[in-house]
Structure 1
Amino acid sequence: MSTTTTSGPGSASGPGTEPESGSGSGRGAAARRGPGRARGTRRAGKQGLWGWVFVSPMVLVLGLFLALPVGMALWVSLLNWDGQSNPFSGAADFVGLDNYRHLFADGGLTRTLFMTSLRNNLYYVLLVVPLQTVLALGLALAVNRRRLRGKGVFRTAFYFPSVTSSIAVSTVFLFLFQSSGAVNGLLKWVGLQGPSWFTDARGLVWVVLGWFGLVDPGSPPAALAGHGVLGLSWWEWLSGPSVAMCTIIFLVVWTTSGTFMLMFLAALQDIPEAQLESARIDGAGRWQTLRHVILPALRPVLFLVLTLGLIGTWQVFDQVYVMSQGQPANTTLTPAFLSYSLSFKDAQYGTGAAISFVLLAIILLMTGVQRLALRERDGRRRLRRGRSAR
């Protein structure tokens, strides 16, 4: 028994009708999608327009009080302006990049002061950033312990210096580090003779080496004192922070560690307890858990803390202004304070603005290096994960 199938022009199962059915459905779907896409595009356009309407006040404020002053300062850095006339009227002399050239190429006093400030700030960064990061992490680990009683009291006590006025704290430190102050009194109580903190311009490196009899801080070697670069001798470049600068370092580390402690503490509380418990079950001790579990989990926050610390330490100004004014012997001079001093005391606004933009370039460069290091680490981690998955 056989069954015959007839396919005609009107048959739904005929081979000639299948393309027509497909084409018709495609045109119908396109017709249905067309108005929907148009409505979606119009809706997105309206949302974007209303978004700009809502953010326009803040954009206007940022442009008026941030972008416009930065542009004006950049123009002033190209002028020889005394601050008395209108810098946009043509009364000020346009000198181009001469203000920047004076900072790096000329052998005058301006270059010497600028390089001295860079040296001081570099040692300041190299000491403050690691110390405040380690101290903040240690405080966060301490107040994050389960068995610690009175956690709220300790967290408030550690964070309190960060919300206290830096001017007030700097004034208190002036009394603490006087020759007859509390710090020298404590050192005398343990049998040590404290220095005159705010008048001691000796470099810390040469002071420490002098204790061991390796160098004589009072008579530098001719090989180091007679040769140098960028207006400073090698003896000055390698001297380290002065004793006076160490007081400012103590102050800043004490006042900034509380803020970074909160960042570390928030990241520590996000680590799953099961992950820590599994490390303990596997026999990991405290240091092994810290190294192999906690620190890898804190890596993004660690880079954030390092970046914020780096930016903040290159902008130090108020502590120097209150405690030392750049003295003794310009060993606490920083680029930010030098920019202020040249501009508002010596009426060299062009040079002061140029220092500000050089400082901005240094901050952007070091921040970019931090970001690049973080990106490389993330890329290598994803690459290892992909290889392990395969």
Structure 2
Amino acid sequence: MLSHARRHRPFGRDAMAGWLFVLPVIIVLGLFLVLPVVMAAWVSVSDWTGRGSPFSSTVNFVGIDNYRDLLGEPGLAQRDFGTSIRNNVYYVLLVVPTQTAVALFLAVLVNKRIKSRGFFRTAFYFPSVTSSVAITVLFLFLFSASGAVNRMLSFIGLRGPNWFADPRGIIHIGLGWLGVDQPPAALTDGSLLGVNWWEWASGPSVAMCVFIVLAVFTTSGTFMLLFLSALQNIQAEIEEAAIVDGTTGWQRFRLITLPMLRPTIATVITLGLVGTWQVFDQIYTGTRGGPAKTTLTPAYQSYSASFLNQNWGQGAAIAFVLFAIIVVLTAVQRSLLRERDNDGKPGRVLSTLSFRRNAGGDS
């Protein structure tokens, strides 16, 4: 017992050897991760303008003023932040479910024994390794007023001279076609983060919809690989047992494949949430927040406040608010999709499936 305790002492000879091995990693993480986060936290509660050291005597502590300007004080900063949050909410709600469904569909498709399966896997994954700047420029060219997409839409009477530059959301555009041009009074009285409810319900602009299509196009291939790896880890005996039980392909997918893919689905959604809330490079390359700030995102607003307006305190505050949003939504998502006891286990899934078949409850 004494020798066992001696071997596991935190400062014993073996422990010191272990600390020496991990010390370089600790130093690197401390210098390039922990220290920048601490500095950014200080900047978010200061009036640093980007000149000199943020810890110099000329930099004043302003407390929560930068956060109050964004969240509690009516003004341009709050309205821009509210607009960016609205734009990003629509971006997240449309991109994450779509890219997850498309990635799962592609994974199931290329997991089958079909001809040229390797070619299709490469083709579906190729957009994910393409430069985001190059593919953003390509999409802007395709969807411009004189682009190929607009020319194709002209054949069905949907071409407009400046539809890509229209600042209205697609819901407002649809209501405009129905003759609804004025908002009801109930939607203009209240507001959230300086944006009234009528603007919150506008939907994404046409320009933002292009970025949504771009995100799905470029990320589905990466998530397809995650689903494909999970599908190949499902034992063939499980599917064979289900076939013997007389199930259809849809029943096997719904009652066996999906439950066993629960951890991968949770991972894909988590990565999707983090990535969509941090969208920046497409906005920077494409529209710089236009038209009329309908593609403005919190990440780009943080960059704009810091590097363009030299308001580094506000830019850091936006980054920390965005970090809090990502953490909260990720925690909620993981609590909703966490794997419960016995869920997705082959024995339980097969017994449930067999019971439903014998009872005639699942056709």
Q: What TM-score, normalized to structure 1?
A: 0.84
**Residue of structure 2 aligned with 1:129, choices 78, 82, 96:** 96
Match of 2:336 in 1: 373
**1:61 aligned residue (18, 21, 28):** 28
57-66 or 278-287: bigger deviation: 278-287
Q: Closer, same or farther in 2 for the Cα pair 1:370/1:47, shift >3 Å?
A: farther
Matching residue within 22, 34, 46 for 2:13? 46
Distance in 1 between residues matched to 2:162 and 2:108, nearest whole Å: 36
Q: Distance in 1 between matches of 2:11 and 2:62?
A: 49
C-alpha distance after superposition, 1:256-294 (max 9, x if no partner): 000000000000001111111222222222221111011
Deviation by residue 1:271-330 (Cα, 9 ceiling, x = unmatched): 111111222222222221111011001000000000000000000000000111000111
Decide which of 302, 305, 315 is 1:339's aligned counterpart: 302
Preserved CA contact (<8 Å) 1:203 1:241: yes
Given the alignment, which residue of 171, 190, 201 partners 1:238?
Answer: 201
Hey, what does 2:358 align to over in structure 1?
Answer: none
Query: Which is worse superposed, 42-51 or 223-232?
Result: 42-51
- Which residue does 1:140 correspond to in 2? 107
Structure 2: which 5+ residue stretches go unaligned? 352-363
Distance (whole Å) between structure 2 residues aligned to residue 46 and residue 227 of structure 1 = 66
Query: Structure 1 residues 46 and 372 mapped into 2: Cα distance closer, same or farther (>3 Å)?
Result: farther
Which secondary structure state, in structure 2, belongs to the residue aligned with residue 169 of structure 1? helix
What's the offset of the Cα at 1:346?
Answer: 0.7
Pick one of 271, 276, 300 that aligns with 1:308.
271
Structure 1 counterpart of 2:59, from 66, 81, 92: 92
Alignment match of 2:159 (pick from 181, 193, 207):
193
State the Cα deviation string for residues 86-132 of structure 1 (Å, max 9, x = none): 22112012100111011111111000000010111011000000010
Q: CA deviation at 1:332?
A: 0.4
Aligned residue identity for 1:270:
N
Q: 1:108 to 1:192 in 2, by over 3 A?
A: closer
Deviation, structure 1 residue 374:
3.6
Q: Matched residues in 1 for 2:316 and 2:9: separation?
A: 47
Give the structure-2-normalised TM-score.
0.90
Distance 1:78 1:380, change over 3 A: farther
Aligned equivalent of 2:361: none
Q: Which amino acid aligns with 1:253?
A: V
- Inter-partner Cα distance in structure 1 for 2:151 and 2:12: 70
Q: 1:294 corresponds to which letter in structure 2?
A: T
Structure 1 residues 132 and 345, CA, compared in 2 at 3 Å: closer, same or farther?
same
Report the 3-state secondary structure (helix = DSSP H, G, I; strand = E; otherwise coil) of the residue aligned with 2:334: helix
Q: How far off its partner does 1:42 sit? A: 7.1
- What letter matches 1:137 in structure 2? L
Q: Is this contact kept in 2: 1:100–1:354, CA < 8 A?
A: yes
The corresponding residue for 1:290 is 253
Whether 1:256 and 2:214 are equivalent positions in the alignment is no
> Hey, what does 2:75 align to over in structure 1?
108
CA deviation profile, 1:317-355 (whole Å, cap 9, x unmatched):
000001110001111000000010011111111001000
Q: Which residue of 2 aligns with 1:349?
A: 312
Structure 2 CA distance for partners of 1:370 and 1:51, relative to 1, 3 Å? farther
Superposed CA offset, 1:41-74 (max 9, x none)? 4799433322221221122111111111111010
Q: CA deviation at 1:248?
A: 0.5
Is 1:76 aligned to residue 43 of structure 2?
yes
Could you say if the C-alpha distance between residues 381 and 273 of structure 1 is closer, same or farther in structure 2, counting changes exceeding 3 Å?
A: closer
Query: 1:339·1:355 contact (CA, 8 Å) conserved in 2?
Result: yes
**Aligned residue in 2 for 1:208:** 174
Alignment check: 8 A CA contact 1:80 1:348 kept: yes
Q: Aligned partners of 1:169, 1:347: CA distance in 2, in Å?
A: 30
Moved more, 275-284 or 339-348: 275-284
- Aligned residue for 2:204, secondary structure, equals coil
State the alpha-carbon separation in 2 of the partners of residues 194 and 101 from structure 1.
Answer: 41
- Would the aligned equivalents of 1:203 and 1:243 in 2 still touch at CA under 8 Å? yes
C-alpha separation in 1, matches of 2:265 and 2:84: 28
Task: Tell me if structure 2 keeps the 8 A contact 1:85–1:91.
Answer: no
Deviation at residue 220 of structure 1 after TM alignment: 2.4
CA distance in 2, matches of 1:124, 1:79: 31
| Cα pair 1:83 1:349 within 8 Å, conserved | yes
Counting matched residue pairs gives 348
Moved more, 311-320 or 270-279: 270-279
Which whole-Å CA distance do the structure 2 matches of 1:172 and 1:197 have between them? 18
Contact 2:81 2:193 (C-alpha < 8 Å) held by counterparts: no
Q: Aligned partner of 1:174: which letter?
A: L
In structure 2, the partner of 1:6 is none
Q: Report which stretch shifted further, 171-180 or 227-236.
A: 227-236
Instruction: Give the SS at the match of 1:79.
Output: coil
Residue number in structure 1 paired with 2:355: none
Separation of aligned partners in 2, 1:131 and 1:342: 31
Q: Which has the larger radius of gyration?
A: 1
Q: Classify 1:157/1:222 alpha carbon distance in 2 versus 1 (closer, same or farther; 3 Å).
A: same
Distance 1:194 1:280, change over 3 A: farther
CA contact (8 A) 2:302 2:316 kept: yes
- Go from structure 1 to structure 2 and tell me whether the alpha carbon gap of 1:344 and 1:41 turns closer, same or farther (over 3 Å shift): closer
Structure 2 CA distance for aligned equivalents of residues 352 and 163 of structure 1: 30
Percent of pairs with identical residues: 56
How far residue 81 of structure 1 moved from its aligned partner, in angstroms, is 1.6
Task: Indicate yes or no: 2:321 matched with 1:358.
Answer: yes
